[in-house]
């Protein structure tokens, strides 16, 4: 059973460009979460999605950031008009979301965004 797959692993963008990060959850998982880890800081929750629904986006910056989890295909975290402060590791995680063991959360290897 493949784990949570994220791509690209590393992405370099110039200021003002768009960054798209993809996440395929573990097989059988319908809950996806995005977290951001800024340099020398801890992980911060960004958004929680289920298929075609945003459940909680309380951690998303108000502008330039959006996320989706379509019926088919991976979840996408999109950052428009990137700035240097967006440079970070972006982690996707997934869970089954049912019952005690279903709440165990599995993280991907992360996507490292560098804005130059």
Binding stretches for another protein (CB under 8 A): 4, 6, 31, 33, 35, 41-45, 48, 55-56, 58-59, 91, 93, 95, 97, 100, 103-110, 112
Q: How far is the CB of 90 from another protein (least distance, A)?
A: 11
> Looking at beta carbons only, is 76 or 106 nearer to another protein?
106
Residue (1 or 104) nearer to another protein, CB: 104
At its nearest, how many Å lie between another protein and the CB of residue 81? 27
SS3 letters across the chain: CCCCEEECCEEEECCCCCEEEEEECCCCCCEEEEEEECCCCCEEEEEEEECCEEEECCCCCCCCEEEECCCCCCEEEEECCCCHHHCEEEEEEEECCCHHHHCCCEECCCEEEEEC
Among residues 14 and 42, whose Cβ is nearest to another protein?
42
């Amino acid at each position: 059973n493949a784990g949570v797959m994220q791509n690209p692993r590393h992405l370099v963008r110039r200021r003002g460009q768009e960054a798209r990060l993809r996440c395929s959850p573990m097989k059988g998982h319908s809950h996806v979460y995005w977290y951001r880890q800024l340099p020398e800081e801890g992980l911060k929750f960004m958004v929680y999605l289920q298929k075609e629904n945003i459940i909680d986006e309380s951690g998303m910056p108000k502008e330039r950031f959006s996320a989706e989890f379509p019926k088919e295909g991976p979840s996408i975290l999109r950052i428009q008009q990137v700035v240097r402060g967006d440079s970070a590791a972006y982690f996707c995680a997934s869970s089954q979301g049912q019952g005690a063991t279903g709440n165990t959360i599995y993280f991907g290897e992360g996507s490292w965004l560098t804005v130059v």
